Amino acid sequence: MDRLTSMNVFVRAAELGSFAAAAEALRISPQMVAKHIARLESRLGTALLNRTTRRQHLTDIGSSYYERCKIVLAEAEAADAIALEMKATPSGIIRVNAPVTFGASMLAPFITQYLDNYPGTQVELTLSDRMVDPVEEGYEVILRIGELHDGPLIAYPLRPYRLIACASPEYLAQNGTPVTPTCLAQHSCLVYGIWSPQSPCRWLFTKEGKTQEVRPEGRFRANDWRALLHAAVRGYGVTQGPEDVLREEINAGRLVQILPDYTCPSRPMHVLTAAGLRQTVKIRSFIKAVTETFG
């Protein structure tokens, strides 16, 4: 006899108060109920139920064993449910939050490919550079760039978010190619963010363990990096931005990387989900696809 089946029979007999009631609920004979419980008692070497012709009750050991059996049966049922769910095809709405530049430039093309692979899914993507609360705001998957803060989140690491500096071939032909970071003082820079004395923009370049800081200046600033990318391709100056986005422009010949011997800052990147959120097949499949693409 299967031990889990015998445990289930024992639990039903304890809850329903008789072998006959348990037999009727389980659609087996009272004799079979008795056999299952006798097998458990034989295995344990002790009585689980005290029985008379009129009533039955759990022994002290039977009472403790009953509580444990309920836990074991619940865990076995949950394991079966997870296995069955993993075989299912992802479906339903996935609510995603991501930083603006990464989300618009890199995550959006990934999402359209994911939707092609899983026609039963829908994605609601919200772009925001602020830290969001997945529970309060209803996000199932979050992508974040930068150091993580303590919180009830499960984090999966992705490859670092690395910056490089670029300019168009036309701009460099007219203005020369910078050979050191200090040369950027003679160039028009396309600066991310709105200037303020309290938080001036800084570009960092590292070579052989030494870091140089540059305060970029130029005629065009913007709080959306896509606008700066457009201006860089049009030849309006030097920009510093995410390598994964700029690499496509470099490969197409629309931009050229400058100061390639120097390393620009890189920041950690993660895909996150709330620790208490049940990871359904749609969430697991989306996170798996994100880590395979950006890991």
User: Per mean pLDDT, which range of 5-14, 47-56, 182-191 is the poorest?
Assistant: 47-56
Residues of 157-174 as b/e, b for ≥16 C-beta within 10 angstroms?
Answer: ebeebebbbbbbeebbee
Reported as a single tens digit per residue, the pLDDT across 219-242 is 999 888 889 999 999 999 999 999
d(CA 232, CA 82): 50
Q: The pTM is what?
A: 0.64
d(CA 72, CA 69): 5
Q: What is the mean pLDDT of residues 97-115?
A: 93
199 pLDDT exceeds 70? Answer: no
CA dihedral over 135, 137, 142, 147, signed as positive or negative: negative
